[in-house]
Each structure stands twice: as structure tokens, then as C-alpha cells.
Amino acid sequence: MTQRLNYEKASPGGVKALGSLYGYILQSGLEEVLVDLVYLRVSQINGCAYCIDMHTRDLIRKGVKIDKIVLVPVWREAEALFSDRERAALAWAEIVTRVAQSGVPDETFQAAIAVFGEKELADLTIAIGLMNAYNRLAISFRNTPAAALANNG
């Protein structure tokens, strides 16, 4: 896969703005592993190889066991591996990422707000939106995953 466009060079101000949002999420108080699991799940839904590769590596670096990481797409079937907060975050990430199909039902919102409260749910939703934006950039402009780059070298 050949990169179509280097969006970091083409729009440094836009990338910097996204980076500021990423920095906000890091200091928001949401657990880093929870956010990385959400980033991974959103990227899986969107089919973003670049981001799947990156967030899998991030989770491994943070000590998350591979058994848990590989079961993120089927977390409901492996729910014992995931905390209540992680399960709620993954459910919210899926419904928000599929907003055009889901409409984000009231019962899903009620379940999420009960676990996170207003600020955390707003921050989690910002993180989900951010990852959806990054996925669209990486997919549209064909960012090559680190694993594929390493394999070509």
C-alpha cells in the first residue's frame, strides 16, 4: 500500500489541532488503557489497519495481555476479561462510531451515563470522535501500518 498524501505535511495546523485534542484526552482523567481499548475498537470498526497496529502496540507496551487485546472485537463474549468501565466504554464506542445506523438509543446513553457521569462521558465521546477522524485520515490517505513497513524493510 502506497501512501496517497502526507496529511501532516499538507495540513500541519490541522494535525496540530487534532494533537491538542489528543493531549486533552490524555489529561482528562480517563484511564489510558480504557482509552486505548476504545481507540482500538473504533479503528477495528472502521477497518483502519494503521490505527489498529498502533493501538495494539500501545496496549502491549502498557502491559495489556495479548489474550485481552485479540478479544476486543468480541468483548461481549469475553466479558470476564474486561472491567465494567471497559465494557461500558466499548459499548459506547461501538454505538457512537455507528451513529448513522444506531441513532444512539436512549437505553445505551442511560447505561453509559450511569457508569461515567457527564464529564467522563463527554470526554469519552470526544475521544471516540477524535479516533474516527484519525481513522478517516489514515484510511483515505493510505497510511502504512508499522508492521507492514517493518515487513517491507
Q: What local confidence, expressed as pLDDT, does residue 145 receive?
A: 78
What are the tens digits of pLDDT across the range 45-71?
999 999 999 999 999 999 999 999 999
Q: Residue 85 corresponds to which cell in the numbers above?
A: 468501565
Does the pLDDT of residue 8 top 70, yes or no? Answer: yes
Is the residue at 145 inside a domain? Answer: yes
CATH number at residue 91: 1.20.1290.10
List the single range of 4-13, 18-27, 84-93, 130-139 with lowest mean pLDDT. Answer: 4-13
CB 34 within 8 A of CB 89: yes
The values of phi and psi at residue 6, to 5°, are -95, 95
Is the residue at 88 inside a domain? Answer: yes
Is the residue at 5 inside a domain? Answer: no
Does the pLDDT of residue 153 top 70, yes or no? Answer: no
Is the residue at 64 inside a domain? Answer: yes
Please state the domain count of the chain. Answer: 1
Is the residue at 40 inside a domain? Answer: yes
Is the residue at 9 inside a domain? Answer: no
- Single-letter residue type at 3: Q
Band (pLDDT 50/70/90 cuts) for residue 4 is confident
> CA of 112: how far to CAs of 8, 38, 84, 116, 139, in Å?
34, 14, 10, 6, 29
Q: Which residue has the higher pLDDT, 16 or 3?
A: 16
Is the residue at 44 inside a domain? Answer: yes
How high is the mean pLDDT of the chain?
94
What range does the domain containing 63 cover?
30-152
Q: Which residue has the higher pLDDT, 46 or 5?
A: 46
Does the pLDDT of residue 79 top 80, yes or no? Answer: yes
Is the residue at 8 inside a domain? Answer: no
Cα 23 to Cα 66: distance, rounded to the nearest angstrom: 26
